[in-house]
Structure 1
Amino acid sequence: MLEVLVVEVSPGRSSLDTLLFLKDVLERCHGRPLVRADRVPWYDWPLGLLDCEYERETWGNRSLIEAWFGIFKYRTRRFYHRFSFHSTANSTRSWLTAFAALHNAEL
Structure 2
Amino acid sequence: MKARQVIEEILNKVFKRHRFPVSLKAEAVILYFKGLSLRTVREFLLHKGYEVSIEAIREWYHAVGKALQAIYTIAVWVYVDETKVKVRDRTYYLWLAVDEKGLPVFMHLSRRRDSWTAKLVLYNTKAKGCTTDKGPWYMSAVKELAMEWLHETFGKRNVVERWFFYIKHRIKRFYKRFPWNAKYETVYRWLASFIVIYTIMNLKS
TM band (smaller chain) = 0.7 to 0.9
Alignment partner, residue 11 of structure 1: 111
Q: Distance in 2 between matches of 1:74 and 1:100?
A: 13
* Aligned residues between the structures: 102
What is the aligned-residue RMSD (CA, Å)? 1.3
Q: Using the alignment, how far apart are the partners of 2:128 and 2:166 within structure 1?
A: 24
Q: Cα deviations across residues 40-60 of structure 1 (Å, max 9, x unaligned)?
A: 101011111111112100000
Structure 1 position 67, deviation (Å)? 1.0
User: Which structure's relative contact order is higher, taking Cα pairs within 8 Å and 6+ residues apart?
Assistant: 1
Counting aligned pairs with the same residue, the percent is: 28
TM-score normalised by structure 2 residue count = 0.47
Partner of 1:84: 179
State the Cα deviation string for residues 34-92 of structure 1 (Å, max 9, x = none).
31100110101111111111210000001111111101110111112211221111111
What SS class does the counterpart of residue 17 from structure 1 fall into? Answer: helix
| Structure 2 portions without partners, runs of 5+ | 1-100
Q: 1:57 to 1:86 in 2, by over 3 A?
A: same
Residue 22 (structure 1) shift: 1.5
**Contact residue 102 and residue 160 of structure 2 kept, 8 A:** no
3-state SS of 2:112 partner: coil
The CA distance in 1 between the partners of 2:159 and 2:102, in whole Å, is: 8
Is the strand fraction higher in 1 or 2? 2
* Structure 1: unaligned runs, 5 residues or longer: 27-31
